Structure 1
Amino acid sequence: MQFKTRIAHAIVGALLTGTLLHSAPTYATELSAVETQQVNAQQAQALGLAVPYSAKVPTIESVLGYPAASRISSPAAIEAYFVKLAEQFPAQVKLNYYGKSWEGRNLYYVAISSAENMAAFANFQRGMQQLSAADKTSAQQANKLIAELPASVWLSYGVHGNEISSPEAAMLTAYHLLAAEDEQTASYLNNAVVFIDPVQNPDGRSRFVSRYYMTAGLEHSADRHSAEHNEPWPSGRSNHYLFDLNRDWIALTQPEISGQVEALLENMPLVFVDLHEMGGDSSYYFTPEADPYNPLITKKQRETLWYIGENNAQWFDERGYDYFTREIFDAFYPGYGASWPLYHGSISMTYEMASARGHVFRTKDGDILTYGDGVQRHFVASIATIEAVAQQRQQLLKNFWDYRNQGIEAGSDSKQRVYLFAGQQDPAATQRLAGLLTRHGVQVQQAKEAFSACGVKYPAGSFWVDTAQPAHYMARTLLDKNIAMDDKFIAEQERLRANNLPDQIYDVTAWSLPLMFNLDYQTCSRVPRAENQLATEQLVKPGTVLNADAEVGYIVPWGDMNAGRFLTEALRAGLTVKRTDLAFTHKNKQRYPAGSLILTHAQNAHLTAAVQKIALSSGATVHGVDSSWVTDGPNFGSNNVKLVHAPNIVMLWDEPVSSLNAGHSRYVIEQQFGYPVTAMRAAQLSRADLSHYQVLILPSTYGSLSSALGENGEANVKKWVENGGVLITFGNATEWAVQSVLLNSALERVINENPQGHGSEKKVDGLLIKSKAEHMHYITPDAADPYWTAGVLTNLDVDLEHWLSAGVQPNLISVTVGNQIYRPLSIEHGRNIVSYSKDVLASGYLWEENQQQLAYKPFLMWQPRQRGMVISFTQEPTYRAYLDGLNLLLLNAIFGGAAHATPLR
């Protein structure tokens, strides 16, 4: 068709000789009519589409002062362009802000459609809400909505800040939709509302852009080894707290994603596309996805993904663009932007473009890939997707309704229809789970009275989720303890391993929120008969003080994040807080667990008002006491009751630390615990006077910590620990603690019951190989590491006879990633506080050999070193900031560790 006619080599990359490559963006003044026509003609040529464009629509150059794709636009410049479009075309463009990034940049999307559709935009939103509410909307009403509503597509660009081409394509897409004067584009806008989120990660993009232009010289370098193509730590991929935002769609911890989810639930778009970049030696990837598919994705959804992919292919074929599908980027893990909308009935997918990671890049084949190439292909893919959505308007609406209705039916027929959470085990985690599920668009009920269900009694305040609801599949994928991968896929992975080939598992294979929050739940086939109300999005329920006018002081029972937040806020407020190592029974007949906090009037002025304020904000339940008398366990003045000092925390930062784990850890401590962290680079840590700090945290690393710290750094840390410091290591930073002999453990190789020495002599004894299995065993190195796992949920057993486990449940769940397995500490060196259970696997798929070798191996070790100590987690307790069930262990390590160390004061 004429609309798709290719203009030979009319690519945006041809504009890279623009004069503004290294200058700051200069927002242009108003152009004359002749100048406007010239600029629009250049823009049309850059788009590569043989259609006329209106001179009334501002181009990128007319607003920002430089041609499209001649500069990597900053978030501020991109926002300025969309603000201009919204101001100039209010009848067709609606600009909506949904939050701010950590660094204060705006998060927003625009909705673009025909003037008629946008005049009825509020009706469109109401209509989609009605269509999504399949439990309240009749089939007759749904059919009327399907006949009348426009389709909708949500295009999200730039979730990774250093994937640079898609936000520029977002501007071109908006320009084209408004300026193109052809019937086909008009039909797109008549049949669909197009949502554009131009920059999902403005902080990361800003970081990339500023650093990139600092390295640019007279000419841009295409050398992949140049400074232009190698970002300093941390790269622009992540946000302010160094999160990979494309993994935050389960936990919703970051404003960039939680705000977008809220906007998606408000608009319920039928199709969602997340536009990314990948290595520069690739081509272009679009749907359909690789195996495995999440089993909660329906056949109809997969067919639609295939249809959209085929339409993209037609566009790419006409332009001679290479692409591939189905080889990588699976649709199993629901925590991606390109997966999450699927479980509400939308169609969602990932597009990936080979990245120039700058203006020009020389591929391994010697070709020059330009920034403009990426912009052009993302633009073409965007328009092709909009076309597919517009063409399938009614079918997409019907499929959406059917999915939501099918969810109700599936829940009604399930023997595990209802998931029930009593909340007594961990009130803070239960409240957070209910609020988080609600934020995901799942209906959660809270009982106003006590009730029984399937033979179990539940107190008032308990929560339940009836899966017979439109968000059935979202509830299932978040709550089910295990989502199984396809048997054929698993069999293929085992076949690959048997042939010493890498597996195809792309990301974690387990993610159950109740397991990660360490919460038990029960299921029932019947909905409880109890007065109830819908749960809210509230993550922390305000706390309370019982016997607020207590004469002696207050006790905060330890055991959840409410108490943890109370502790950090009290310390930051300057209150004197004690912490008991052992459980005790007070005169009031209340039993208090180990770790409980004690605050007395004798040691704190104006305590009552402070406690009431902190209880309210933290969620803690505080017990006022009129006596210090204890009938069982340690008294308030016992040596088993420690003063909790407000520790200064320093964290190793920059290379060779994993930016993700550093960011996750700092976020958990600062934003979830509410306590500040100082970041320090290895060079400074090696020579700094650390006596000001009581706690040092070493996050996981990707390089040699020994090389980064050197002998002087190792000696400095050792001396500091021995003088009373608390060293906490995460993940493979624990290996450095072992190598430096701060921790008397050892890293294990793979179990090899029958080593086959390969020999280095020119001639060796003859070897009889009787089978293919023996052959594969022989060619495996004798000193191989255990097999790598992408990530599973594992069972842990807790030694409750130590202050590090105060208030912790006897069994925990953790994510286990990688292949590091450590030997337990012997008793003369320290304690293994948390170990892997005999039955290691809680959820996901873990190789049999790893399960056998991990059993009873340490997850958390404690070793005293003179006046200080080493506390080592063999995995990352802050992984993606969604392991809420491990937060109490980390609180104990930081604040309990500081309380038990004995530095000279």
Structure 2
Amino acid sequence: MKSLSFSVSAVALAISALALSGMPSTSTASEQPVPEWPQARYSGTPTIEDVLGYPAGSRISSPEQIQTYFQALAQAHPDQVKLFDYGETWQGRPLFYAAIGSEENIAQLNAIKTDMQRLADPRSINSREARQLIESLPASVWIANSVHGNEISPAEAAMVTAWHLLSSSDERTQSMLENTIIYFDPLQNPDGRARFVSRYYATLGLEPSADRLSAEHNEPWPNGRTNHYLFDMNRDWIALTQPETKGRVAALLETYPLIFVDSHEMGGDLSYYFTPEAHPYNPFITSEQREGLNWVGENNALWFDTFGFDYFTREIFDAFYPGYGASWPLYHGSLAMTYEMGSARGHEFKTRDGEILTYADGVQRNFVAFMATIETASQRRQDLLQRFYNYRQQGIEQGSRGAVRSYIFSNTRDLAGNRKLMALLVAQGIEVGQATEGFRACGESYEQGAYVVQASQPGYHLIRTLLDTNVPMDEEFLAEQERLRANNLPDQIYDVTAWSLPLMFNVDMDVCQQQPRVATTPVNTQRILPGEVVNADAEFGFVVPWGDMNSGRFLTAALREGLLVRSSDLKFTHANGIEYPAGSLIVPRAGNPEELTAVVQQLASATGAQVTGLDKSWMRDGPNVGSVNMKRMHAPNIALLWDEPASVLSAGSTRFIIEREFNYPVTAIRPAQLRAADLSHYQVLILPASSGGSYDQALGKSGRENLRQWVQRGGVLITLGNATRFAVSGDAPLLNSSLEQKAQVNELADLASAGRTDGVLIDNDDEHQRHIRNPNAQPDWVSGIIARTAVDQEHWLTAGIHEELHAMFIGNDIYTPLRINHGRNVVNYIGADNVLASGYMWAETQQQIAHKPLLMVQPEGNGMIISFTQEPNFRAYLDGMHVLFMNSIFRGAAHARPLR
């Protein structure tokens, strides 16, 4: 991390720009001063009003204003404030954190970071050195704010809390500074906040409206919650797809804070939520950590009682999924927690109880929660340090003598996926080695290049959480969910129940009960290794084996270079004796530029592809280059439906994967244009999953007919997740499948015209529940599991895909298979006994999805409809689905027959 530098003139210029910005004024500044704190005595530290021109809590500060204020604090207190840059957003906004403490602690900040890194690795120090560090180091709190850009008050409260810590001379605050380093990450999502602030003030009239119906409180699509690529970054911690998350994780591994606060907002009708979290807890969170979370919660409660603020705990926001900001640090030994303030979502909000909630109210309550948490860290300094060390030490011990001692990845299939996964683990503080020679372990033989993750390291708990096939939920909790469901009540499962990275990457992993004895080299965070070209001077051209993202990136790069590329629908064996899988790419010299060798070498290096030169075109087996089964690949123009009713998250992750993983451009088109626009310029059109609205309503009859005609002329329409409902709906559906109702629902007898029916005897509660069920019910909602699917190896759409593929199943959309005269079901869930790979699923849903389609393709004129019944791009962390999605775009476009 590098320290941020700035000058007085830079701050002055920023303030002047703000004064001239012409933003509308408001007359709703808080009547009480913000902050309010007992016995506070303040010195001359510049206030928010001094620097930005308005009192704290009276305006929603922009990202630039927040940065300007922290720069002013660092300028005013250079011995107590240090600013550090940890990255940049997609839109170029800086990401930074501030370290605040006593002059003595800030002077020793680099040494404190180094000592925390030593304490984090008990292998590097002896017990005496550990004891000395625990006795001498300050505690530390990391306060992360507004990861959702429209959750506005936490970021403002970070400025207020920082000002209070630096300007208050009361004994309580000074003690906190002496015992604690406070890290403020004031704005985790600058791009989302900028979107919210701009749109909010664009709707503001003469005075703010508290009416929840007002435009101020109803953001247009996409709202400010997400970042530039429309990601919910509070789910990104185990995938690290976004620069904001990558940079933050790196900063945390440098500082190792003992308490991590992830400060959010929720609906304005709720009060304030803080730790402890709801059940279920992840089993790799220890009882000591849960006790520590109660320390924080109890002290927060004392302070909220002092101020007369309402709060609640434990009822929602569980601690099971590890991909939250309030979860991930726990698996490194810290305490991590969610704070949620009821949001005014502007200056004022009228609650259902008739009270007016103001922005300043949120800022003040967050401030109190932050101060209470800092106080807990200060008072529990040595306990927190000891427990952090214990967690890391126990991890090493459990990994060295437990049932799971190592994870081995063979790396013989999907070089790109294995490498990216290993780099992802390393980026999260996990040590990974790559074998320098072949070896045997647990009765299996592995080749040189296999990856080994030893469990006996400080990150043991995170390793188990990320790599275990299944992380079980508490049995009592699950029994309660089944009881609720049996009584027709909603379950309490908050998020996905499965996230095993090896399953989502669809790579081969073995769990071993021994530590392999083999020399390894440490893996770094480089996700794509340079590819190479063998036999570069070959006379005929080049072949690239298909099946991973290295070859996928090579394809898109070659198409964007204008190269002639062919792809085989079938596997083939070249005259060199090597068998190549279906989908493999042929780049002949004929028809390509004279400098082809140099271009291919550059593309291989950049994409990671393994390329082999071919001296001749002759194939021993399979199609020759001139076969109809060798399709010429074209560079398709891709359109993506953008705006309501598309799900923000589905649209964003789909665009991200195509643009940033495939390195290929996408054109976003709004539904209104799709109603009648000439789409002949596009070869592929993608409908993201819907957020609940109707594509039928958004597109209307004219839009549906326009799409149908475009498909018939040779377009490829791809539907994702519940967008497939649009394809199967209407009098003349585009796809001859249909949504299923819940299976085995006992139909109730029809009521006679007189309102009577045959009498029945109900013997027990179970029978009563059966009789009151909705006979037209949909399958029960599944929060998110990983399912096993079987892949049709003989269809061009699945070229290069392994015979078994893991996919997420979320929701309750189950589709009937296509009949053979209509199309093909190319990926299907396997039998009920084995379909569940990870997570928790209702038994009857598990039975019902068996042998149902995940991916269907149906020809229509010169084009086709390709439908994923589940979202293949969910959170952009289903890397094992990327090649299949790429096939649907690029191989789909190659198999369509438009007039070119």
TM range (shorter): over 0.9
The amino acid that maps onto 1:745 is S
Task: Give yes or no for contact 1:28–1:64 (8 Å, CA) kept in 2.
Answer: no
Tell me how far apart the structure 1 counterparts of residues 752 and 889 of structure 2 sit (CA, whole Å): 50
Which residue matches 1:666? Answer: 655
Map 1:293-304; keep pairs closer than 5 Å.
293-304=281-292
- Is 1:621–2:623 an aligned residue pair? no
The Cα shift of 1:175 comes to 0.2
- Is 1:120–2:115 an aligned residue pair? no
1:728 to 693, 718, 739: 718
Which residue matches 2:260? Answer: 272
Tell me how far apart the structure 1 counterparts of residues 461 and 535 of structure 2 sit (CA, whole Å): 45
Q: For residues 571 and 760 of structure 1, do their structure 2 counterparts lie closer, same or farther at Cα, with a shift above 3 Å needed?
A: farther
- Is 1:750–2:769 an aligned residue pair? no
Which residue matches 2:828? Answer: 835
Task: Give yes or no for contact 1:28–1:61 (8 Å, CA) kept in 2.
Answer: no
- Is 1:800–2:793 an aligned residue pair? yes
The Cα shift of 1:456 comes to 1.4
Map 1:550-561; keep pairs closer than 5 Å.
550-561=538-549
Unaligned segments of structure 1, at least 5 residues: 1-24, 32-41
Tell me how far apart the structure 1 counterparts of residues 16 and 568 of structure 2 sit (CA, whole Å): 66
Structure 1 residue matching 2:305: 3-state secondary structure? helix
Tell me how far apart the structure 2 counterparts of residues 172 and 132 of structure 1 sit (CA, whole Å): 31
Structure 1 residue matching 2:85: 3-state secondary structure? strand
Task: Give yes or no for contact 2:654–2:688 (8 Å, CA) kept in 1.
Answer: yes
Which residue matches 2:491? Answer: 503
1:608 to 597, 600, 616: 597
Structure 1 residue matching 2:34: 3-state secondary structure? helix
Tell me how far apart the structure 1 counterparts of residues 510 and 31 of structure 2 sit (CA, whole Å): 60
Tell me how far apart the structure 2 counterparts of residues 207 and 28 of structure 1 sit (CA, whole Å): 22
Structure 2 residue matching 1:109: 3-state secondary structure? strand
Tell me how far apart the structure 1 counterparts of residues 41 and 784 of structure 2 sit (CA, whole Å): 50
- Is 1:289–2:284 an aligned residue pair? no
Task: Give yes or no for contact 1:825–1:861 (8 Å, CA) kept in 2.
Answer: yes
The Cα shift of 1:44 comes to 9.7
Structure 1 residue matching 2:216: 3-state secondary structure? helix
Tell me how far apart the structure 1 counterparts of residues 334 and 751 of structure 2 sit (CA, whole Å): 58
The Cα shift of 1:774 comes to 1.6
1:65 to 53, 57, 62: 53
Which residue matches 1:9? Answer: none
Which residue matches 2:751? Answer: 759
Deviations 1:778-816 (A, max 9, x none): 111111000001101111110111000100000011111
- Is 1:904–2:899 an aligned residue pair? yes
The amino acid that maps onto 1:182 is D
The structure 1 segments of at least 4 consecutive aligned residues displaced by more than 2 Å after TM superposition are 25-31, 42-46, 50-56, 757-765
Deviations 1:711-732 (A, max 9, x none): 1100100000000000000001
Q: For residues 753 and 302 of structure 1, do their structure 2 counterparts lie closer, same or farther at Cα, with a shift above 3 Å needed?
A: closer
- Is 1:236–2:235 an aligned residue pair? no
- Is 1:133–2:121 an aligned residue pair? yes
Tell me how far apart the structure 2 counterparts of residues 64 and 757 of structure 1 sit (CA, whole Å): 70
- Is 1:697–2:690 an aligned residue pair? no
Task: Give yes or no for contact 2:34–2:160 (8 Å, CA) kept in 1.
Answer: no
Which residue matches 2:449? Answer: 461
Which residue matches 1:4? Answer: none
The Cα shift of 1:43 comes to 12
Structure 1 residue matching 2:71: 3-state secondary structure? helix
The amino acid that maps onto 1:867 is N
Unaligned segments of structure 2, at least 5 residues: 1-12, 20-29
Which residue matches 1:857? Answer: 852
The Cα shift of 1:339 comes to 0.2
Deviations 1:767-786 (A, max 9, x none): 22222112111111111000
Tell me how far apart the structure 2 counterparts of residues 56 and 130 of structure 1 sit (CA, whole Å): 38
Structure 1 residue matching 2:721: 3-state secondary structure? coil
The Cα shift of 1:51 comes to 3.3
Deviations 1:229-260 (A, max 9, x none): 00000010000000001000010000111100
Tell me how far apart the structure 2 counterparts of residues 171 and 753 of structure 1 sit (CA, whole Å): 56
User: How large is the Cα RMSD of the aligned pairs?
Assistant: 1.4
Tell me how far apart the structure 2 counterparts of residues 496 and 358 of structure 1 sit (CA, whole Å): 37
Which residue matches 1:684? Answer: 673
1:651 to 640, 664, 667: 640
The Cα shift of 1:308 comes to 0.5
Task: Give yes or no for contact 1:29–1:62 (8 Å, CA) kept in 2.
Answer: no
Task: Give yes or no for contact 2:151–2:225 (8 Å, CA) kept in 1.
Answer: yes
Structure 2 residue matching 1:195: 3-state secondary structure? strand
2:576 to 588, 593, 596: 588
The Cα shift of 1:657 comes to 0.4
Tell me how far apart the structure 2 counterparts of residues 371 and 757 of structure 1 sit (CA, whole Å): 55
Which residue matches 2:771? Answer: 778
Tell me how far apart the structure 1 counterparts of residues 604 and 247 of structure 2 sit (CA, whole Å): 28
The amino acid that maps onto 1:84 is A
Task: Give yes or no for contact 1:650–1:696 (8 Å, CA) kept in 2.
Answer: yes
- Is 1:707–2:697 an aligned residue pair? yes
Tell me how far apart the structure 1 counterparts of residues 464 and 99 of structure 2 sit (CA, whole Å): 31
Deviations 1:399-418 (A, max 9, x none): 00000000001111112201
Which residue matches 1:35? Answer: none
Tell me how far apart the structure 2 counterparts of residues 56 and 29 of structure 1 sit (CA, whole Å): 24
The Cα shift of 1:183 comes to 1.1
The amino acid that maps onto 1:836 is Y
Tell me how far apart the structure 2 counterparts of residues 545 and 26 of structure 1 sit (CA, whole Å): 52
Which residue matches 2:22? Answer: none
Structure 2 residue matching 1:691: 3-state secondary structure? coil
Task: Give yes or no for contact 2:34–2:57 (8 Å, CA) kept in 1.
Answer: no
Which residue matches 1:872? Answer: 867
Which residue matches 2:3? Answer: none
Q: For residues 451 and 30 of structure 1, do their structure 2 counterparts lie closer, same or farther at Cα, with a shift above 3 Å needed?
A: closer
Task: Give yes or no for contact 1:757–1:782 (8 Å, CA) kept in 2.
Answer: no
Which residue matches 1:227? Answer: 215
The Cα shift of 1:30 comes to 14
The amino acid that maps onto 1:837 is I
Task: Give yes or no for contact 2:34–2:363 (8 Å, CA) kept in 1.
Answer: no
Which residue matches 2:709? Answer: 719
Task: Give yes or no for contact 2:43–2:168 (8 Å, CA) kept in 1.
Answer: no
Task: Give yes or no for contact 1:29–1:63 (8 Å, CA) kept in 2.
Answer: no
Task: Give yes or no for contact 1:30–1:62 (8 Å, CA) kept in 2.
Answer: no
Task: Give yes or no for contact 2:406–2:513 (8 Å, CA) kept in 1.
Answer: yes
The amino acid that maps onto 1:687 is A
Q: State the TM-score, normalizing by the size of structure 1.
A: 0.95
Which residue matches 1:19? Answer: none
Aligned identity (percent) is 58
Task: Give yes or no for contact 2:746–2:770 (8 Å, CA) kept in 1.
Answer: no
Q: For residues 26 and 90 of structure 1, do their structure 2 counterparts lie closer, same or farther at Cα, with a shift above 3 Å needed?
A: closer
Deviations 1:115-141 (A, max 9, x none): 000101111011000000112221111
Structure 2 residue matching 1:27: 3-state secondary structure? helix
Q: State the TM-score, normalizing by the size of structure 2.
A: 0.96
Tell me how far apart the structure 1 counterparts of residues 306 and 828 of structure 2 sit (CA, whole Å): 58
The Cα shift of 1:764 comes to 2.5
The amino acid that maps onto 2:814 is I
Structure 2 residue matching 1:603: 3-state secondary structure? coil
Which residue matches 2:24? Answer: none
The amino acid that maps onto 1:89 is H
Tell me how far apart the structure 2 counterparts of residues 715 and 692 of structure 1 sit (CA, whole Å): 17
Which residue matches 1:822? Answer: 815
The Cα shift of 1:54 comes to 3.8
Structure 2 residue matching 1:692: 3-state secondary structure? coil
Tell me how far apart the structure 2 counterparts of residues 26 and 214 of structure 1 sit (CA, whole Å): 21
What count of residue pairs does the alignment treat as equivalent? 871
Structure 2 residue matching 1:505: 3-state secondary structure? coil
Which residue matches 1:517? Answer: 505
Tell me how far apart the structure 1 counterparts of residues 798 and 67 of structure 2 sit (CA, whole Å): 49
Map 1:361-380; keep pairs closer than 5 Å.
361-380=349-368
Which residue matches 1:50? Answer: 38
Deviations 1:504-550 (A, max 9, x none): 00000000000000012112222222221111111111101011111
The Cα shift of 1:760 comes to 6.8
Q: For residues 407 and 866 of structure 1, do their structure 2 counterparts lie closer, same or farther at Cα, with a shift above 3 Å needed?
A: same
The Cα shift of 1:753 comes to 5.3
Tell me how far apart the structure 2 counterparts of residues 708 and 374 of structure 1 sit (CA, whole Å): 37
Structure 1 residue matching 2:749: 3-state secondary structure? coil
Tell me how far apart the structure 1 counterparts of residues 521 and 634 of structure 2 sit (CA, whole Å): 42
Structure 2 residue matching 1:756: 3-state secondary structure? coil
